[in-house]
Structure 1
Amino acid sequence: MNDILPADSALWQYLESSVAKLLGGYGYQQIRLPIVESTELFKRSIGEVTDIVEKEMYTFADRNGDSLTLRPEGTAGCVRAMLEHGLLGGGLSHKVWYTGPMFRHERPQKGRYRQFHQIGVETFNLTGPDVDAELIILCWRLWQQLGLREAVTLELNSLGSSEDRARYRADLVTYLRERFDQLDEDSQRRLDSNPLRILDSKVAATQALLADAPKLADYLNEQAREHFAGLKALLDAAGVPYVVNPRLVRGLDYYGLTVFEWTTDRLGAQGTVCAGGRYDGLVEQLGGKPAPAVGFAMGVERLLLLIETLGKVPAELARQVDVYLVTLGDQAVQAGFGLAEQLRDALPDLRLVVHCGGGSFKSQFKKADKSGALYALILGENEAASQQVGLKPLRSDAEQELLDWQALPARLDELL
């Protein structure tokens, strides 16, 4: 688990605000969820035989003896909240999103931490492929805004219905059991508990073995085929490129029909930056009436790493201060605070630092320069008395100006 230091926070805020604005434009509303949930919630939703539940959750007993878990993902808690507050009654549709830390006891590596952050989007009571397409399209628009489109690939698959997967699972297990000794250790362990996850194995020998294995696409019912065809047609119409990956599965048991991942080859082994799919059975699984649902989650750390790797950090984020106010003398200090607030009233977006802690002009200018500010405002006793201020460029050889306070907001607005 790691700290996010002040020097890094601006990029986090940039990504979070970009996502919030985009989702608001599509009609999605934010929901804020607790970090701690009942352990049983994740066992019932994710599946007791998944790696997450078996090996990765941070689980503890509280003072009442109840088993609680730091959330390893957001969908289960979101569904729990929708049910608990009666938001799914009457077939009402909802489009919500959330953000925050998740926790898994995994091996830390580049772009992956045991406390990591996700932005999740979920929709409820919408059955068609149109909302699946909308989720993917809004991701596509986000990648455009962040400058990432050329670096990501959309992979699609359909997992069909639970009955489709049951028939496929039986044949897949039969095929793999006959080749058990050729499987890697993880795949041997998963053969009885979660055989579909073997399709996602990163071991080359296992992938080669799967080349002649049964194909899930051959087991889909007509409704699943139509849903998947409808999704692809909508993406084609919107101009969103994709690759059908017949081995794409998700690590959580509740997925069915559409699954998708946005991947990149720019971050080494950690290639998935956003993933999701349809989970029509989860609401009923958690005690509610049947309600279709689809959503996705994007990994914030990986997206930030991709933005930095591609050199797509906006230039303005490198500078956190526009103007630094230097004062000398008690009267100037008092006048400086008044002037600063007048400037903030006139220019709400101005990033203005008022020097605190005293010191000589020379020491204050050193701090002004170190702050990265473009300009210094200079206020001594004489300037304060005449309500004037010096405006000195810090990043060019331009001459210092002497301005009346009333003229300063317009001049700063012009320069910045």
Structure 2
Amino acid sequence: MKYSALSLTILLLSSCSHFKKPMTLEEAVKMEGTDLSLQKVTSQDELVSFEVPGKLSPTINHISDKVDFYYSTIDIGASYPMECYIYKTDINPASTLKRMSEKVISDKKIVGEIAQKEIALFGAGVALEASPFMLLHTSYLTKDKKVGKLKGMIVVKDHSSAVCLHNDVGFNQTFTESFLKVAASLEVKKGKPSEPEYREVFLLKMNNIPLGFVTNSLIKAQNKTQVSIQRTSLLIPVSASEILSSDGVELEISDAKGMLTYGRYLHDGEPEKSFSIEVKTNDLKTYNVLGMVGEKTIATQLETHGIVSSYGHTKMLPRKLFEQELQQFSIPIYSPSRNPAAVGSLRTSLKSKSETGAVLRIDSGDGATTSEVDLDGTLKRSIIPAGQFELIGERVFKLGTISSPQD
């Protein structure tokens, strides 16, 4: 997923500051770690542990500041160590990776004064099927002709996350393999969370380039209610040197019929488009909406005959399409990214069906998505229009079953 690189002519005229003896850029880029052995790392409080190839036993410290995290340095044979930050709670993957990378690049004490920078590599993938990760590499040239490359990767595993960074033009394969080992072996002990009865992971691609991922979890709660959590993260290049990040979380509680009783919606991206909104109802007729969109406060009441949750829509599909054999139906929904102060409408139309599922057209009013679903209504693949491009979501992991409302 190479996007661009610094001018080879400029780079060849530059000297690499990351090594004590002079070497060409080509030699520096090809450098990899050697004689690394698998190291077991455990925090002093024994709450965090992982394995990683390294020269020596890595250090790990618990940092309690504005944000609580664990910090580890790992010697992978380079002049500078690989650094990892481990969080016991959920964080916004794309935004966190971008901000941490930008913080390092802008620190003159670490990299010097930047003359030119470019996005060298970006993308997303899945480690061990269920743990999605993102990567962002930035090449740079300083005003005193020093060449550098900051490599960054982040993984989401259960309810914890790990971010690893390495500031060196070489050791690309070593860094990637070391990070994936951390991701695969990472264990974070904490209070036992509710286990989802259903979980799925999608990779999001544009022009066959993985830009991000979506995770969906469904947790059965009391009184036949269901808690659904959807997390979406994207890295979107807008130029050779700039990339946008987008993270979204939708938490919805549905009643036994799949109607929305509570919603919490968060989006971290461009400041004017970011939002934090809460939706509540006691009678499925009046919904109280309170939150922020950018710097604007949203406080309103929505009068309706009920709102169908995302989970409710999924479980309607088998009944509407396969049992009742409807060709089209519409439902009321709430979508703050479209209009946070109104009830929206979602129209689902059947394009074709088979023994294994169906192909649907789902129209929310501002664009239609083509979706392939299984017989139980769960999404398998989607094609979302994005200007002159298409954003394709493909399911890469599925675990458990999704129960029907009133089950």
- Determine if the TM-score, normalized by the shorter chain, exceeds 0.5: no
More contact order relative to length (CA 8 Å, sep ≥ 6): 1
Structure number with greater Rg is 1
Q: TM-score range by the shorter chain?
A: under 0.3
TM-score (norm 2): 0.24
Greater per-residue helix proportion: 1
